[in-house]
Chain A
Amino acid sequence: MKLDSKIPSGPLAEKWNKHKFDLKLVNPANKRKFEVLVVGTGLAGASAAASLAELGYQVSCFCYQDSPRRAHSIAAQGGINAAKNYKNDGDSIHRLFYDTIKGGDFRAREANVHRLAEVSLSIIDHCVAQGVPFAREYGGMLDNRSFGGAQVSRTFYARGQTGQQLLLGAYQALSRQVGLGAVKMFPRTEMLELVVVAGHAKGIVVRDMVTGKISSHAGDAVVLATGGYSNVFYLSTNAVGCNVTAAYRAYKKGAAFANPCYTQIHPTCIPVSGDHQSKLTLMSESLRNDGRVWVPKQKGDKRLPHDIAEKDRDYFLERKYPSFGNLAPRDISSRAAKEACDEGRGVGPGGLGVYLDFSDAIKRLGEAKIRERYANLFDMYERITGENAYRMPMRIYPAVHYTMGGLWVDYNLMSTVPGLFVLGEANFSDHGANRLGASALMQGLADGYFVLPYTIGHYFAHDKPARPQAGSAEFREAEAAARTRVQKLLAIQGKRTTRSFHRELGRLVWDKCGMARSEKGLKEALQRIPALRDEFWSNLAITGSGESLNQALEHAGRVADFLEFAELMCLDALTRDESCGGHFRTEHQTEEGEAKRDDEHFSHVAAWEFQGEDGRPLLHKEPLVYEGVHMSQRSYK
């Protein structure tokens, strides 16, 4: 395997324009001869499926939910970045590019990030044209707010439901194409295998989640927009159905997996309340615009927040990072909260929480203003905790939220398997070792609306891939493999439920490969994961059959893949013997406890190649070269 990033030559700011011209085109009349299979209908998948169908390609689109409108992009709250500079506060494409590279702790691919910043402008224009009801000022112009890791206001939002509104925009565009007959939609359908014929991605094997029928779809290219793998931690802010299966199956068919250890812990989530918990709920980072984060100065101070005088409070983010204060990037804020709790100064049950306090903002702006900005978040907090955050501070704690790692892609978003494109959170490309707030929505839509529609045509026109042969030996083999797997799971007939395995795996990787990682801990995890996996395959309890709707079976299939993937994640974390962004190795920190990079040895993308069930994955390195920025120690002080 050779990693060729295909980064265009020429000055950074001109690469994408030049590349667009250099890309070969497919004649409009010929586009309908190509069929594209799009898996996933979040921002990246829905926008790609709609845009490709608009161009004239035949598209089949798959999602595991009952409707494409339910993909988890819908839950993104805070906003979407774009370098519009509507606020006249000094924003520019270069600044958005720079902030994203720096926020990612200099571990992202520069050319991709610059392109992302460039197309951010078109995304906002297009979404407004679709009827996305962004927040407006009284003059009728679009409103912006600021977000972590940036000193300009460039975040566009629709109350606390920006992801919902952007996804509905993409869903509506997709629905229009379904209505026109240009997209065939397959909801409640889960991808189980990738089909590779003569080295090219030519199809997928899917399971109809209602009838249990396993079947194949053939196409000229496959697009995976299947999101991230946060649910390997069991508890995360992802939807309970989010999984790594599609990406991991592609990895096993030859797609390199890049930087799996880069996971993002979000600082503002509602703390865990007990063992029954099935997921964690995020409170948008936008709350940090007006909320102040603090813990008591004294260890074990059990007084109610109102009773703790100003002088006895430690506003630790403002103290440690005076220039960014409560808006320090996510990885830094999360670790600072963890440190405060580790010191015994955490609040709430189990001492795993810090306060996010709005009383100053309410005094300054009035409750009505705060209500206008965040009412839905405050309501959600109240429903979950039973507490009123207008009267007392919220309690928050970090939780796994996003995964920067993903399948390796080149500049054209193509993986190491020709014809397999990977978009959005499922790829690795744009966020380096830490993603800035309001950048995930930007990347998903950039990939789907404005990158893939150009680059996929080049693959068809330049590579001239052979027509797919449905029913060929490769398809039959892949289908048989998927069937065998389902039967194997059902045949175990053991005693332990999938959930109990998932919970144990989650706790293990959270402890050993979560906010802080060490060589010792990772080695221990690498010992324990295979043992847990063996127990899973010998003692799993599922009821029912494969020929009907069977949610226990669906969950088991996903957890089976998490149990393998977790090992790859820990291996990557162990191999990356430095700290960077969200990957914090306790052995590598500055005197002030910040992540200490080792640019000499680790300024590369780590891309892992599958080497068979018993082989150790093979590491390939894509060196990261920076032309437009100077690599520096991140400082938000």
Chain B
Amino acid sequence: MKLTLKVWRQKDGDSRGEFATYQANDINPDMSFLEMLDEVNESLLARGEEPIAFDSDCREGICGACSMVINGLPHGGRKATTACQLHMRLFEDGETVTVEPWRARAFPVVRDLIVDRSGFDRIIQAGGFVSVSTGGAQDANVIPIPKPDAELAMDAAQCIGCGACVAACKNASAMLFVAAKVSHLAILPQGRVEKNRRVLRMVEAMDSEGFGNCTVTGSCEAVCPKEISLNFITRLNQEYAVALLKSTGQSAR
């Protein structure tokens, strides 16, 4: 297979970026998209040019590092698939493929296809945890958890924090990411204790990071490699409303 690639190149956050065009030849259909980029980088290095910088690590769809918009869709738009798991057999010989970084104010470009997603970390630091220190936990089976609750919590908990939801959203909203963590912990009895404080603080952090508002278009759900459901955003709104009512007159802290 042969492809024409239009790849976003940007030296650093302060420089202007632009598309560069590369030919990718001898593509094996069993390659992943990132392995195809590896090969392009090998040929760039051989010509003395700087390779395309992109984030990736586990290359099995679970670490959430890879982050690129392929032909206008985060991770390339295949259902439930990260870019590292997207295989070249899905592309057509001779096709022109556009590759860009996540585009969002809260995710500034670091270099080429690499963006800074530390805003997600700060949202978790604001409240995305159960305040339990090591030691002293009771036996794990003391609190029975109904299987459907455990399953639902797991549906939310499997978010990989890649940021595709933000990249897909016209408002660059992080609601699906926040909703997944708020829901995961609010569904379980262990996380319920501080659920009001958590949701208020996480939403506050989300807003201060510069993520946009949610208008429920569902583009986040459509591109989420873990198929996190839009229903969790409904749950987040409920949790937030309840927490706000209960905290009226009190600081979120």
Indicate if the CB atoms of B145 and A136 lie closer than 8 Å. Answer: yes
Indicate if the CB atoms of A172 and B57 lie closer than 8 Å. Answer: no
Q: Which residue of B117, B125, B191 is within 8 Å of A175 (Cβ)? A: B125
Residues A158 and B185 in contact in the complex (CB < 8 Å), given A70-B65, A544-B50: no
Minimum C-beta distance from B130 to chain A (A) = 5
What are the residues of chain B within 8 A of A69 when measuring CB–CB?
64, 121, 124, 161
- Residue A50 is within 8 A (CB to CB) of chain B in the complex: yes
In the bound complex, CA of A301 to CA of B31 (Å):
27
Q: Which residue of A137, A173, A386, A450 is within 8 Å of B129 (Cβ)? A: A173
Q: Which residue of B38, B64, B129, B131 is within 8 Å of A70 (Cβ)? A: B64
Indicate if the CB atoms of A279 and B59 lie closer than 8 Å. Answer: yes
Residues A67 and B188 in contact in the complex (CB < 8 Å), given A51-B134, A126-B137, A383-B85: no
Which stretch (B108-116, B164-172, B207-215, B242-250) binds chain A?
B108-116
Indicate if the CB atoms of B60 and A380 lie closer than 8 Å. Answer: yes
Indicate if the CB atoms of B65 and A379 lie closer than 8 Å. Answer: no
Residues A176 and B85 in contact in the complex (CB < 8 Å), given A67-B120, A135-B150, A453-B134: no
What are the residues of chain B within 8 A of A72 when measuring CB–CB?
57-58, 63
Residues A449 and B134 in contact in the complex (CB < 8 Å), given A66-B116, A133-B188, A240-B59: yes
Indicate if the CB atoms of B45 and A541 lie closer than 8 Å. Answer: yes
Indicate if the CB atoms of A141 and B121 lie closer than 8 Å. Answer: no
Minimum C-beta distance from B186 to chain A (A) = 10
Q: Which residue of B118, B137, B138, B184 is within 8 Å of A67 (Cβ)? A: B118
In the bound complex, CA of A543 to CA of B35 (Å):
20
- Residue A198 is within 8 A (CB to CB) of chain B in the complex: no
Q: How many A-B residue pairs have CB under 8 A?
A: 226
- Residue A298 is within 8 A (CB to CB) of chain B in the complex: no
- Residue A542 is within 8 A (CB to CB) of chain B in the complex: yes
Chain B 134-167: CB-based contact to A (< 8 A → 1; otherwise 0): 1101111101111100100110011011000000
- Residue A563 is within 8 A (CB to CB) of chain B in the complex: no
Minimum C-beta distance from B153 to chain A (A) = 4
Indicate if the CB atoms of B131 and A140 lie closer than 8 Å. Answer: no
Residues 29 to 57 of chain B near chain A (Cβ within 8 Å): 30-32, 34-36, 38-39, 41-42, 44-46, 48-51, 53, 55-57
- Residue A458 is within 8 A (CB to CB) of chain B in the complex: no
What are the residues of chain A within 8 A of B59 when measuring CB–CB?
239-240, 278-279, 281
Which stretch (A5-13, A163-171, A289-297, A397-405) binds chain B?
A163-171
Minimum C-beta distance from A431 to chain B (A) = 22
Indicate if the CB atoms of A384 and B145 lie closer than 8 Å. Answer: no
Q: Which residue of A47, A84, A279 is within 8 Å of B140 (Cβ)? A: A84
Minimum C-beta distance from A144 to chain B (A) = 11
Indicate if the CB atoms of B85 and A133 lie closer than 8 Å. Answer: no
Residues 84 to 140 of chain B near chain A (Cβ within 8 Å): 85-87, 89, 110-111, 114, 116-118, 120-121, 124-135, 137-140
Indicate if the CB atoms of A139 and B144 lie closer than 8 Å. Answer: yes
Indicate if the CB atoms of B140 and A131 lie closer than 8 Å. Answer: no
Residues A274 and B111 in contact in the complex (CB < 8 Å), given A75-B60, A172-B124: no
In the bound complex, CA of A229 to CA of B47 (Å):
31
Q: Which residue of B41, B60, B61, B132 is within 8 Å of A130 (Cβ)? A: B132
Residues A175 and B31 in contact in the complex (CB < 8 Å), given A159-B154, A239-B63, A278-B59: no
In the bound complex, CA of A74 to CA of B133 (Å):
21
- Residue B80 is within 8 A (CB to CB) of chain A in the complex: yes
Minimum C-beta distance from B70 to chain A (A) = 15
Interface size for A (C-beta < 8 A) is: 82
Q: Which residue of B31, B58, B157 is within 8 Å of A133 (Cβ)? A: B157
List the B residue with the shortest CB-CB distance to A543: B50
- Residue A122 is within 8 A (CB to CB) of chain B in the complex: yes
Indicate if the CB atoms of A75 and B63 lie closer than 8 Å. Answer: yes
List the A residue with the shortest CB-CB distance to B78: A383
What are the residues of chain B within 8 A of A50 when measuring CB–CB?
134
- Residue A178 is within 8 A (CB to CB) of chain B in the complex: yes
- Residue B81 is within 8 A (CB to CB) of chain A in the complex: yes
- Residue B12 is within 8 A (CB to CB) of chain A in the complex: yes
Q: Which residue of B118, B124, B126, B160 is within 8 Å of A66 (Cβ)? A: B118
Which stretch (A147-155, A548-556, A586-594, A616-624) binds chain B?
A548-556
Indicate if the CB atoms of B131 and A549 lie closer than 8 Å. Answer: no
- Residue A138 is within 8 A (CB to CB) of chain B in the complex: yes
Indicate if the CB atoms of B132 and A129 lie closer than 8 Å. Answer: yes
Indicate if the CB atoms of A122 and B137 lie closer than 8 Å. Answer: yes
- Residue B23 is within 8 A (CB to CB) of chain A in the complex: no
What are the residues of chain B within 8 A of A241 when measuring CB–CB?
57
In the bound complex, CA of A100 to CA of B110 (Å):
45
Interface size for B (C-beta < 8 A) is: 81
Chain B 62-84: CB-based contact to A (< 8 A → 1; otherwise 0): 11110000000000001011000
Indicate if the CB atoms of B51 and A543 lie closer than 8 Å. Answer: yes
- Residue B21 is within 8 A (CB to CB) of chain A in the complex: no
Indicate if the CB atoms of B34 and A133 lie closer than 8 Å. Answer: no
Residues A138 and B60 in contact in the complex (CB < 8 Å), given A129-B138, A164-B158, A278-B34: no
Indicate if the CB atoms of B137 and A128 lie closer than 8 Å. Answer: yes
What are the residues of chain A within 8 A of B36 when measuring CB–CB?
276
What are the residues of chain A within 8 A of B132 when measuring CB–CB?
126, 129-130, 173
Minimum C-beta distance from A385 to chain B (A) = 8
Q: Which residue of A47, A70, A137, A549 is within 8 Å of B63 (Cβ)? A: A70
Indicate if the CB atoms of B129 and A548 lie closer than 8 Å. Answer: no
Q: Which residue of A47, A176, A499 is within 8 Å of B42 (Cβ)? A: A499
- Residue B231 is within 8 A (CB to CB) of chain A in the complex: no
In the bound complex, CA of A383 to CA of B45 (Å):
29
What are the residues of chain A within 8 A of B145 when measuring CB–CB?
136, 140
Indicate if the CB atoms of A74 and B147 lie closer than 8 Å. Answer: no
Minimum C-beta distance from A16 to chain B (A) = 15
Indicate if the CB atoms of A450 and B134 lie closer than 8 Å. Answer: yes
Q: Which residue of A136, A178, A449 is within 8 Å of B150 (Cβ)? A: A136
Residues A74 and B63 in contact in the complex (CB < 8 Å), given A139-B144, A210-B110: yes
Indicate if the CB atoms of A141 and B161 lie closer than 8 Å. Answer: no
A-B contact pairs, 29 of them (CB 8 A): A66-B55, A66-B117, A70-B161, A74-B63, A126-B132, A127-B140, A128-B137, A130-B129, A133-B154, A138-B147, A140-B145, A140-B146, A141-B144, A178-B121, A210-B110, A210-B111, A239-B57, A239-B58, A240-B56, A278-B59, A384-B32, A384-B87, A386-B89, A497-B46, A499-B38, A499-B42, A500-B42, A548-B111, A549-B111
**7 tightest A-B CB contacts, nearest first:** A140-B144, A172-B129, A179-B125, A129-B137, A273-B30, A125-B137, A239-B57
